[in-house]
Amino acid sequence: MTTLLALEPGFFPAVGRGIGAILLYALVGLLLMLLGFYAIDLTTPGKLNRMVRDGLPNAVAVTAAGMVSMAFIVVVAIYGASGLLAEGLLASLIFGLVGIVAQVGAVRLLEWVTGIDIGDVLAAPDLRPQTFVVAAAHLALGLVVAVAIL
């Protein structure tokens, strides 16, 4: 009798390890994105979560850019781990935390240098041009930190 599907020995344990890695990296990524969100929230005037929930476009755009930039860092840390789960998770966590500190500090510095009143911008009901500068700074810093990992 012929088998329609022949699997290599060890196939299912490998799939199980892969699923476990996905779940663990997703957990680390979510943790870092939440920490990044709260770091931005703590360093900006107003309650960022309320502004996002209320759909204020500037708060939503800046928050989205911060989340995407954090994802850059986590993805590159995973890629740089070369399939080593424990090292990849630890590298993602360490680089993610450093990235959060660097990103928040640099964006606040940019706002100060440019004279952007981020509290006023985030709370505005209409989309402000300054939002694009702040969002771009988040994305650019996420890329810089991500590439620095390699």
- Per-residue pLDDT reduced to its tens digit, 15-34: 999 999 999 989 998 998 88
- Assign 117 a pLDDT band (cuts: 50, 70, 90): very high
Q: What is the mean pLDDT of residues 69-83?
A: 80
Task: Give 87's contacts (C-beta < 8 A, 6+ positions apart).
Answer: 81
Angle between the 130-149 and 85-114 helix axes, to the nearest 10 degrees? 150
Q: What is the mean pLDDT of residues 126-135?
A: 96
Proportion of the chain above pLDDT 90, given as a percent: 37
45 torsion bin: left (phi>0), alpha (psi -120 to 50), beta (else): beta
- Assign 79 a pLDDT band (cuts: 50, 70, 90): confident
The yes-or-no verdict on residue 122 having pLDDT over 90 is yes
What SS3 class is residue 47? coil
Amino acid identity of residue 134, one-letter, is: V
The yes-or-no verdict on residue 83 having pLDDT over 80 is no
Q: What is the mean pLDDT of residues 101-105?
A: 86
- Please compute, for residue 39, the number of CA atoms within 13 A of its CA located in the half-sphere on the CB side: 23
Is there a contact between 70 and 32 (Cβ–Cβ < 8 Å)?
A: yes
Q: What is the mean pLDDT of residues 58-79?
A: 87
Locate tokens 């240098």: which residue? 113
- Assign 2 a pLDDT band (cuts: 50, 70, 90): low
- Please compute, for residue 139, the number of CA atoms within 13 A of its CA located in the half-sphere on the CB side: 11
Q: How many CB atoms neighbour CB 4 within 10 A?
A: 4
Residue 74's pLDDT is 79
Instruction: Name the phi and psi angles at 4, rounded to 5.
Output: -75, -30
Please state the separation of Cα 30 from the chain's center in Å. 8
Helix (H) or strand (E) holding 86: helix 85-114
The yes-or-no verdict on residue 36 having pLDDT over 70 is yes
The yes-or-no verdict on residue 133 having pLDDT over 80 is yes
Residue 98's pLDDT is 87
